Amino acid sequence: MPKIKVAMYGLTSEAYRLAADLVDTAQVTIVDETLQMAMELDPSLLKRNLDLQAVMAEEPLLSFKPLEQVLGEAQVVFFTPKLRRPSEETLIEAGSKLRDLAKYLSKGVCLVNAIPSGPGGNSDNIMLVEKQTGLQVGATLTYAYMPLRPREQKPAVVAFAGIREKGPLQALGYSPSSQNVFSAELEYAASVMKTAVASVTEIEIARKAREAKVSLQRPSEAYLDEFTRYLYELKAIQASEEAGEAVAYLAGAALKSFDNYVRYVVDETREALKEKQLKASRTKISLLWSLDRYEMRGERLQVAESIQQRLRDYVTDVELLAGRARGGPEPFDPLKHNVVIACSKDDLESLKSSRKSLRGEETTIISATPDLRRE
């Protein structure tokens, strides 16, 4: 029995992991939407390499196919784009890439949206696709909403629109977990808001404690890496007219708090420099954050770049480094005082392991948690 033909529209880590899950039941091709190239993924490659960053570092010999042919033959197309425009333009970028993809969709295809939408967002997507293709969802086109959380390949929710009881998505092992697409949007938005509001509460309470110079009995162990998890979703919820004023206000307030947290990190680092009377020329700052360059959302990368740029107003020598990929104590300059900002728990553990081999370098470690504790 021939395998189902699946195309991933977007050279992203989430798309690659999803492809690895489907490789036993599907013939998977991944599209680099920036270079407009389609690459067939060999099952052995997917099983040998756990993530896309490892694959691209290897520079393997991949089989390239014409984009029109791949998308024209695909039975299922997953929309998994890499979004990299500045923060305020990222939702526009997603719509633009969906419009580009729609040019290649043919009759009978199943389009799966893996990018989160605010309540009502998929209705806009369906209207865009129908207008662009001349096809109609439920008659000549099928549509599914299966948003992927950052760095994950399992959909958070699964909802179908215009999909018959038996089709290629069901054959791939997917079944609806929500009544319809709108209910799926609400359920996913609810889970995002619950997490975001909890994180914002921790950030703001810790800020008040720092200002009052008091300690919290149970400080949060969440890191900046976790705070930036759902920034794209919050933008989508805030921009959704159907979300309602209260939900849109909460999403906007959460975004504002996360933006303020970036300033808190910079201010705390500056305060550490003042307390230790460190000269800028004698200081090196390392932002230790193991970022995925192929993640669908670009918010983590943008936050890291923002912190780095702001810190350079005070210290010229500021580096962004990946902790887990390092084999030694590269962040440390023996001729300078080293300030290291650990942005995830894994990065902090990596840093502590590397410190064991140090020989007296002057260091200050700031954990990017709500209380911004120092070591």
CATH number, position 303? 3.40.50
Query: Is-contact 158 176, C-beta < 8 A?
Result: yes
Number of domains in the chain: 2
Task: Name the pLDDT band for 35 (thresholds 50, 70, 90).
Answer: confident
Q: pLDDT tens, 200-252?
A: 999 999 999 988 989 888 888 899 999 999 999 999 999 986 556 788 889 99
Query: Is-contact 282 364, C-beta < 8 A?
Result: no
Report the interhelical angle of 181-212 vs 245-275 (nearest 10°).
Answer: 30
Q: pLDDT tens, 334-360?
A: 888 999 999 999 999 888 877 665 555
Q: Is residue 39 part of a domain?
A: yes
Is there a single domain that holds both residue 155 and residue 138?
yes
Assigned token pair, 118:
């605010």
Minimal CA–CA distance to 267: which of 336, 196, 368, 140? 368
Q: Is residue 201 part of a domain?
A: yes
- The pLDDT value recorded for residue 350 is 84
Q: pLDDT tens, 91-101?
A: 999 999 999 99
SS3 content of the chain, % helix, strand, coil (to 5): 45, 15, 40
Cα–Cα distance, 206 to 243 (Å, whole number): 29
Global pTM value: 0.91
Is there a single domain that holds both residue 173 and residue 289?
no
CATH code for position 62: 3.40.50.720
Minimal CA–CA distance to 237: which of 121, 114, 76, 316? 121
Q: Is residue 15 part of a domain?
A: yes
Q: Is residue 219 part of a domain?
A: yes
For 82, the domain range is: 4-177
Q: Is residue 373 part of a domain?
A: no
Q: Is residue 372 part of a domain?
A: no
Q: Residues 266, 271, 274, 275: is their CA dihedral positive or negative?
A: negative
Q: Which of 148, 177, 206 is the last residue of a domain?
A: 177
- The pLDDT value recorded for residue 165 is 66
Q: Is residue 257 part of a domain?
A: yes
Interval 62-85 mean pLDDT:
90
Q: Is residue 158 part of a domain?
A: yes
Query: Is-contact 298 82, C-beta < 8 A?
Result: yes
Look-up of token digits 């470690």 = 365
Q: pLDDT tens, 284-326?
A: 999 999 999 999 999 999 999 999 999 999 999 999 988 654 4
* Cβ neighbours of residue 58 closer than 8 Å, sequence gap 6 or more: 49
